[in-house]
Amino acid sequence: MSATNIKADGKVNFWAFANPSNFMKLSGALLPWVTAGAVLCLAVGLGWSLFGTPPAFDHGEAVKILFVHVPSAMLAINTYFLMMIASLIGLIRRHPVSHLIAKAAAPIGAGFTIIAIVTGALWGQPGWGTWWVWDARLTSILVMLFFYMGYIAMWNAVEDPVKAAELAAILCLVGSVFAFLSRYAVLFFATLHQGATLSLDQEQNIADVYYVPLLIMIAGFYLLFIALLLIGVRTEIRARRIRAMRLAEA
Amino acid sequence: MAEYFALEGYGIYVWPSYGATALVLAGLIIWALRRNASVRAELAELEARNARRRKDAA
C-alpha cells in the first residue's frame, strides 16, 4: 500500500484502490494466498462432504448434492449483487476499475448459476420427483442466468468500451430485480423449494454433521470466486492498457 | 467400494452433480488462465515494441 492511500487523519483511502495500478499491486500480492486458501478449503471440503457425511433421514444419500448446490447457488446470487454494486459505483463515481470488476464477475457468476440449476435439477428429481418446476425461485434464477448472458453479450456487442460499460451496467441494474427475487422468493411465494439453508438472523436449520463441511465448501467456493475475479480484473486492466496503447499508435 | 459409489441408488444423481460442478469450475479456471496469458503476452509484445521505437528515436 503506498503512502497516498493513507489520508492525513490516518484513515485508509478506500477509493485509491480504484486506481488501476494500485489494484494491480494489491491483487498481485493477494492472489497466491487466496488461491492457496481455495485449494485447501475445496480439498478438505470435498473429502469431508463425500466420505465424512452420513445419509440424511429425509434425503438419503442425495443430501451430498447439498455441498455443491448451496455454495454455487449462494455465489450465483451474491455475484449478481456484487455486479450490481460495482455497476452502480461505476455509473455514479465513474471509476474505471469498478465496471471492470462487474465485467470480470459476469462469466464466473453465470458459471455458478449453471451449476446451481444443474445440481438443483439433479436433486429435484429424487427429492420432488421432477427435474424442474416453473415456480418463483427456480424461474427467477433462470431469468437471472439470461441477464448474466445478456450482460456479457452487451460488452461484446458495443464497440466503444465506455459506452459498453454504461449500457451493460444499466442492464445489470434492471436484472438485479431477479437476483433479489431468487434470494427472497422462498419467503414471499408458495414454492416447492425449501427455505434458506443458512441465514445470519435465524436459528440454524441444518445438523452439525452437514453444517461444518458445508461451511468449508462455501469458504472454498468464495475463495475460488475471489481468485478468479482477481485474475479476471487483472486481465481486463491489461486489455484496457493494450487498447490505449493501440489507440496511441494509430 | 461399488456399494459406496452407488450411494443407496442416489449415485446416479450425486455423481453427475459433482461432475457438472467440476466441469464448469475447470472450464472457468482454464478460460481465465488462458485469456490472462494471451493478454499478458500481447501487452509484453506491445511494450517491447514501444521501447524499441523509443530507443530508435533517441
- Position with higher pLDDT, A158 vs A19: A158
Going by pLDDT thresholds of 50, 70 and 90, the confidence category of residue A1 is: very low
Give the range with max mean pLDDT: A15-29, A31-45, A126-140, B41-55: A31-45
Q: Tell me the C-alpha distance between A53 and A47, whole Å.
A: 10
Where in chain A are the domains?
Answer: 29-191+205-249
- Residue A102, pLDDT score: 97
Check: CB of residue A158 under 8 Å from CB of residue A164. Answer: yes
ipTM of the complex: 0.91
What are the chain B neighbours of A68 within 8 Å (beta carbons)? 17-18, 21
Residues 6+ apart with CB under 8 A from A143: A175, A178
pLDDT (tens digit per residue) in A40-59: 999 999 999 998 888 887 78
- Under 8 Å CB pairs connecting chains A and B tally to 83
The per-residue pLDDT for A115 is 97
In a domain, B44, yes or no: yes
**B3: exposed, middle or buried (C-beta count within 10 Å: 0-12, 13-18, 19+)?**
exposed
More confident residue, B7 or A78: A78
Residue A6: band (very low, low, confident or very high) from pLDDT cuts 50, 70, 90: low
Question: CB contact, 8 Å: A115 with chain B?
Answer: yes
Q: Which three cell numbers stand for residue A178?
A: 431477479
pLDDT at A188 over 80: no
Distance CA A203, CA B29 (A): 36
Contact: B35, A235; criterion CB under 8 Å: yes
Determine the pLDDT at residue A55. 85
Binary contact (B16, A246; C-beta < 8 A)? no
Q: Which residues of A touch B13 (CB under 8 A)?
A: 62, 65, 122-123, 125-126
> What's the domain range around B51?
16-57
Q: How far is A123 from chain B (nearest CA, A)?
A: 7
**pLDDT tens-digit series, residues A148-162:** 999 999 999 999 999
For A169-187, what is each residue's pLDDT tens digit?
999 999 999 999 888 877 7
Q: B-chain residues within 8 Å CB-CB of A238?
A: 39-40, 43
Q: Per the CB < 8 Å rule, is B24 touching A114? A: yes
Q: CB of A69 within 8 Å of any CB in chain B?
A: yes
In the three-class reduction of DSSP (H, G, I as helix; E, B as strand; rest coil), residue A6 is classed as: strand
Comparison of pLDDT for B11 and A232, the residue scoring more = A232
A110 touches chain B (CB under 8 A): no
Residues of A in Cβ contact (< 8 Å) with B45? none
| Separation CA A120–CA A211 (nearest Å) | 19
With cell 465496471, the residue in question is: A99
CB contact under 8 A, A68 and B16: no
Whether A223 and A164 have beta carbons less than 8 Å apart is answered as no
Nearest to B36 among A50, A234, A245 (CB): A234
Q: What is the pLDDT of residues A120-141, one digit of tens each?
A: 999 998 888 889 988 888 999 9
Residue B7 is assigned to a structural domain of this protein? no
Unique residue bearing C-alpha cell 445489470: A172
Question: Which are the contacts of A61, defined by CB distance < 8 A and separation ≥ 6?
Answer: A55, B7, B8, B9, B10, B11, B14
Q: Taking residues A91-115, what's their average pLDDT?
A: 95
A52 touches chain B (CB under 8 A): no
Contact A16, A22 (CB under 8 A): yes
- Residue A214 to residue A205: CA distance in whole angstroms: 13
| Residue A2 pLDDT greater than 60, yes or no | no
Gap between the Cα atoms of A27 and A35, Å rounded: 12
* Cβ <8 Å between A115 and B29: no
Q: Looking at the predicted structure, is the pLDDT value of residue A33 above 90?
A: yes
Residue B21 pLDDT greater than 50, yes or no: yes
Please check whether residue B20 lies inside any domain of the structure.
Answer: yes
Return the higher-pLDDT residue of A18 and A70: A70
B50 close to A (CB below 8 A): yes
Count other Cβ atoms within 10 Å, centred on residue A174. 12
Query: Helix, strand, or coil here: A243?
Result: helix
Structurally, how many domains does chain B consist of? 1
Q: Identify residue B3 by its one-letter amino acid code.
A: E
Long-range contact pairs involving A185-192 (C-beta distance under 8 Å, separation at least 24): A185/A135, A185/A136, A185/A137, A185/A140, A186/A136, A186/A137, A188/A136, A189/A135, A189/A136, A189/A137, A190/A135, A191/A135, A191/A136, A191/A137, A191/A138, A192/A124, A192/A128, A192/A133, A192/A135, A192/A138
Q: Is residue B2 part of a domain?
A: no
Average the pLDDT over A206-214 and give the result. Answer: 85
CA B7 to chain centre: 31
